[in-house]
Every structure is written in C-alpha cells, then in structure tokens.
Amino acid sequence: MTSPMSHAETHVPEKLDNLSILLPTAKQAIEKLALAEARKADEAERHRAAAEAEKKALVEQLKKPVGVSDEELSKRAAVIIERAIESGLTEVQVFRFPSDLCTDRGRAINQQERGWETTLTGLPKELYGFWKRHLQPLGYKLQAQIVEFPDGIPGDVGLTLKWL
C-alpha cells in the first residue's frame, strides 16, 4: 500500500512532463529572446539605413536650383504670410532643411555667428537671396536656427520669417 504522499509524488512528474512539452526550457527561452532582439536590431538598422538614404536623396535634391521665379516665390510667400496672420501669428517657419546643406553643417547658425548665411547652399541659399531682395526691404526679418539635435549634433535648420 502506498502512502498518499508517495502517490501524489508519482503524479507530479507526469504533470510536469506534460507541461514541459508546452514550456520551453530556460535555455530555449534565452535563445528565443536573443533571436527576437537580433531581429529587432536588424529591423532598426534597415530603418536607419533607409532614413539615411532618404535624407541623402533630399539633400542632393535641395542642392539643385529650384528654378522658381521671384514672382512665384512672392505669391507663395504672400499665401504663407496671410495664413499666419489669420492665425494670429507674428512669425512662421517657412522652410526646414538638413544642416548638411550648410558648408559647415550648421555650426555658424548654431553659434548665431555673423555671416551664417554664407554657409547656405542650394535651395536655402536661394530662399535667403529672395528674402534679402524682396522681403527684407518690406521690414521682414529672417531667423535661422537649429531646430533639432539628434545625438547632440546639429540636425535640421529652420528658417523663420518674422514681421514683429
């Protein structure tokens, strides 16, 4: 005759054996976790590489002249300014671009150095020239500032048009 305790003990291993089919071992769990983390890292790297390629393509596109006339830029500026005024604003960011379009990668803008505009290239340079020729004489101010610092490095530059 078996005691109740020994009878229960013989059934516990059977239950554990059945559960062990469903449950991974600790080693298997660690291996699965490592695989999942590797997949996440691969996916993050793919996203980073895609974003970098997209940024590079954008920079190349923005380095080229846009070929828009001052008249067309004036019409666009008038619409932007009017919308901002209707919203009760006294300034509006008119353009945002990667600091890679500056010859010094945005250093002079970040330091608010005199002559920062000489570091501009491509479309930002064209927009600055348009402001200088047409909007500054009307009393508008243009401010450039770094608006993003990924990893502590100057990222995007914002050009803000102000009228107060």
As a whole-number percent, the residues of the chain with pLDDT over 70 amount to 85
pLDDT, tens digit, 9 for 90 and up, residues 97-116: 999 999 999 999 999 999 99
83 with 40, same domain: the answer is no
pLDDT tens track for 1-14: 544 544 444 444 55
How many domains is the chain partitioned into structurally?
2
Looking at the fold, whether 44 and 113 belong to one and the same domain comes out as: no
Q: What is the DSSP string of 77-127?
A: HHHHHHHHHHTT-SEEEEEEEEGGGBTTTTHHHHTT-TTGGGGB-HHHHHH
Q: Are both 53 and 85 inside the same structural domain?
A: no
- Whole domain around residue 127: which residue ranges? 68-162
| Residue 158: partners with Cβ closer than 8 Å, 6 or more residues away | 93, 95, 96, 144, 145, 146, 147
Please check the confidence at residue 66 and state whether its pLDDT lies above 60: yes
Q: Is 104 found in the same domain as 119? A: yes
State whether 143 and 72 are in the same domain: yes
Please indicate, yes or no, whether residues 115 and 141 belong to a single structural domain of this protein: yes
**143, 86: one domain:** yes
94 in the same domain as 49: no
For the stretch 116-139, pLDDT in tens is 999 999 889 999 999 999 999 999
**How far apart, in whole angstroms, are the C-alpha atoms of residue 34 and residue 24?**
14
Looking at the fold, whether 91 and 113 belong to one and the same domain comes out as yes
